[in-house]
Structure 1
Amino acid sequence: MTLAPHTPSGRKYNANEIRALVNTDTGRYSPEIYTSEDLYQLELERIFARSWVCMGHETQIPKAGDYQAAYIGEDPVVVVRQKDNSIRVFLNQCRHRGMRICRVDGGNAKAFTCPYHGWAYDTAGNLVSVPMEQEAFGGKLNKAEWGPKQARVETYKGLIFANWDESAPNLDTYLGDAKFYMDIMLDRAEGGTEVITGVQKFVIPANWKFAAEQFGSDAYHAGTTAHVSGIIAGVPAGTDLSQVQPPTDGMNVYIGNGHGCGLFSRNPMFYQVICGPQLTEYLTSGPAYEEAVKRLGQGRADVNLCHMNVFPNLSFLTGLNTVRMWQPRGPNEMELWTFTLVDRTAPDNIKEEWRRNMVRTFSASGVFEQDDGENWNDIQHVLRGHVARQQPFNIEMAQHTVQSTSIEPGFPGESFAYTYAEESARNIYKHWAKMLTTTNWTDLGFGATACAAE
């Protein structure tokens, strides 16, 4: 946990000013969206406090009393498995003076006790014990009123989501067509997925939106310079490197509701580079592949890499099956929390290959992780300059290739473009601006019937 200082100026942006920051018609936007403390505070209020945010995976808390700490924006929460197998998420805050009632990453507990004055809460978040209650409160403290704030909780194929907003659409509606692409990772095999034990957490000195946008839209960096050394290192021995060219047979998809992805199909070289030969064989041939075809259809089973972001801050990379949550820590910093999913029914040696190749590629020491972190960090450093912050950025790429029908038959979305495109990025920022300028979910494109808590 970091405690980056936040010093908002008190500026109040109006709706027109926010929309002008991300002009998706011209394909230009302002770096101010990455540096403004006032915009960041508005993001916490209008985006993170209203959106469905991922808390982790059900297999991380399998038994009653199992819990783990998480965040919704900068609000700390506790995620707890209940005796009836349901899951609760509540604010990690004692109602007496505001101290965290859980100060560890996870475990199993029967209660959570505030270390400041000893107020104790059960695993459902009910205040159950107050030291010297009779003497201190004269029997007038109504403990039922003083539990921590509870969030709405829903799950999708093992992933746990929480939301503070009672008026927000249900999770199924919120995810929309994103589920089609999430299932490439979550629903390949009977029994679903499980987490390889352990969550990596580290700080990146950059704005959270750089990461969310990249995973939701940007294949361009991987096909040009950013990851070249890591890609070459992963190419099978004996390969003629002159034949290793950036692929052009994928597409850029704006899914809708702020969600976006890019994907490549029928190109096993991707798996070879990031997953190694054993995992590539498991994913592209044999019984596991045949089961994926039956469950997902040929088109999705043949997707060799899908990089994706579920708005606001949940990203995936299929094949490696990395799940990443970009935890905002002010406009200039984020924490990356990342874990790996594997098919629950996969052989142990394949699960080990998933783990090993994840450490090699996307981890604190991973070759691709370091490339991304260095790029985002350097951009944020440059934006400390006054003149640098005045220069608009370009998101015009491949506007001429945008179409309303999918390049891959049957793949859903609102708009589609060439492999190396920024159609998804443009619309992600358009949705970001809408979230900041309206509190009405219907105005955000969700039907009125979907916008009431169930």
Structure 2
Amino acid sequence: MTTQSENPDMEARLRDIREGIDHGRFPAYVFNDQEIFDLEQEKLFGQAWTFLAHESEIPKPGDYVTRYIGNNNLIVARDEHGEIHANLNMCRHRGNMMCKSEMGNASHFRCSYHGWVYKNSGELIGVPYLAEGYEGKLKRKDWGLVKARIDTYEGLVFGTFNEDASSLEDYLGGFQFYLDLYLKQGPNGSEVHGPPDHWITETDWKIAAENFAGDGYHTPVAHQFGFNLGYFPSSGATHSQGWAASIPGKGHGIGLGHTPGFTPFAGFPDALTAEIKKSLTPDQVEVFSNTRTAVGTVFPNLSFLMQPFSLIPGETGVRFVTMRLYHPIGPGKCEMYSWCLVPKDASDEYKEAAYQAYTLTFAQAGTFEQDDLENWARLTRMAKSSAAKGIEFPYLMGMETERDEDFRGPGHVVKPYVNDSNFRNLWGRWADYLLGEA
């Protein structure tokens, strides 16, 4: 593969894209293009921090899941001492896949080809015919599984193969303030409820990442029936109210929808609301008390959504959280992972109610999920057309909007919630990575 640094034409195109972003323009073809996909694998997913798992998915020693950093499959496992490791799922002898299950519990992994055995922490401990075949020339300590760097935030496990990457704290860059709404749901935080849904879709990962970075513009159109039937505690007339918040230069963004007169933290049981407020700072309590819907993306491809949903139209209903990952597997194609996050200390009754709301709305067969997937798939298909090579999209909303200085959260924060500022920040960071300037 010719890299960007070896392809002056590609570098020139990327610099044109980068300049266009600052002027509110972004090309259509990048949402379904082989060269862009290949470059993303090398320059973006090969360098950035990528979400791997939630700690609650592997609660006991020996628990593991298999996940991805770009096109690299990893075993994310908790060892006998409780420490989490992320190792490339490839035997160091001839490269066979070590673990063929998506989740389970194992203290060791044995290659089905030649029988090399590794601890779940990655150390090589067993080599058949070691004395007879290798004559003392192979030292097991030198041939463990390839390790990724990992770090965590409030239960989220991230990984990278970039040894020179900045810390996860620096990478998140203050977006932790907003992540806490999803993750600090009480003194013991959040946990996943059930295994993730995951499926293949003819959708470019970037479309989904942008949508969940705060695209409130599509909601009254694509999900109009939700308003008409009273499933949302807002209306098309009030839906644009709220804030768009992004961390400049980091790519992360969140949309915070606000409905006048909306009861703070509505959809949580009163006792749980009191515990959540204790887990947050005064500034967070003020911001999130004004938040009806919170939909955000951690750059590049991890997203969250929190909102109340009612099975009885017109009532507040139950507040749920979905956590989502868009794993790219080809140009215009991705594998979607979707989890339901619930407060760890909540009652089983509330957890089941939240899971039901999640399942009906944004799980694999959720009603709102189907609305989005139909639009995303068609957008992806059109981006591949020959005419799309010369087409740009407008990202012009909020170009001149100043920061809301009364808002008590970090980053570039503007109102209304319907705004393109988050997306310009997202694509600017994307372009910086592809140019090797992140």
Same fold (TM over 0.5): yes
Counterpart in the other structure of 1:304: 292
SS at match of 1:263: strand
Alpha-carbon distance in 2 for matches of 1:85, 1:268: 46
Alpha-carbon distance in 1 for matches of 2:116, 2:239: 58
Counterpart in the other structure of 1:259: 252
Preserved contact between residue 175 and residue 252 of structure 2 (Cα < 8 Å): yes
SS at match of 1:104: coil
Report the CA distance between 1:219 and its aligned residue: 0.9
Amino acid at match of 1:381: R
Counterpart in the other structure of 2:55: 58
Counterpart in the other structure of 1:404: 403
Preserved contact between residue 178 and residue 259 of structure 1 (Cα < 8 Å): yes
Report the CA distance between 1:367 and its aligned residue: 0.7
What is the CA RMSD across the aligned residues, in angstroms? 2.5
Write the mapping of 1:32-43 to structure 2, written as runs, cut at 5 A: 32-43=29-40
Please give the per-residue CA displacement for 1:373-396, whole angstroms capped at 9, x wherever unaligned. Answer: 111100111223211332111111
Moved more, 130-139 or 313-322: 130-139
Report the CA distance between 1:151 and its aligned residue: 1.0
Call closer, same or farther: CA 1:377–1:155 in 2, change over 3 Å: same
Counterpart in the other structure of 1:450: none
Alpha-carbon distance in 2 for matches of 1:337, 1:197: 13
Write the mapping of 1:43-192 to structure 2, written as runs, cut at 5 A: 43-192=40-189
Any gaps of 5 or more consecutive residues in structure 1?
A: 1-5, 272-278, 445-454
Counterpart in the other structure of 1:449: none
Counterpart in the other structure of 1:230: 226
Preserved contact between residue 227 and residue 236 of structure 2 (Cα < 8 Å): no
Any gaps of 5 or more consecutive residues in structure 2?
A: 308-319
Counterpart in the other structure of 2:317: none
Alpha-carbon distance in 2 for matches of 1:7, 1:430: 23
Report the CA distance between 1:234 and its aligned residue: 4.8
Write the mapping of 1:316-331 to structure 2, written as runs, cut at 5 A: 316-319=304-307, 320-331=320-331
SS at match of 1:185: helix
Alpha-carbon distance in 2 for matches of 1:312, 1:12: 25
Preserved contact between residue 29 and residue 388 of structure 2 (Cα < 8 Å): no
Preserved contact between residue 48 and residue 72 of structure 1 (Cα < 8 Å): yes
Report the CA distance between 1:56 and its aligned residue: 1.3
Alpha-carbon distance in 1 for matches of 2:161, 2:3: 23
Report the CA distance between 1:266 and its aligned residue: 4.8
Preserved contact between residue 241 and residue 418 of structure 2 (Cα < 8 Å): no
Counterpart in the other structure of 2:393: 393
Amino acid at match of 1:376: W
Report the CA distance between 1:13 and its aligned residue: 4.8
* 2:268 corresponds to 1:282: yes
**Alignment TM-score, normalising by the size of structure 2:** 0.89
Identity %: 32
SS at match of 2:386: coil
Report the CA distance between 1:65 and its aligned residue: 1.0
Alpha-carbon distance in 2 for matches of 1:231, 1:7: 49
Preserved contact between residue 261 and residue 309 of structure 1 (Cα < 8 Å): yes
Report the CA distance between 1:27 and its aligned residue: 1.2
SS at match of 1:420: coil
Counterpart in the other structure of 2:350: 350
Q: Among 185, 196, 200, which residue is 1:199 paired with?
A: 196
Report the CA distance between 1:270 and its aligned residue: 11
Report the CA distance between 1:431 and its aligned residue: 0.9
Report the CA distance between 1:194 and its aligned residue: 1.2
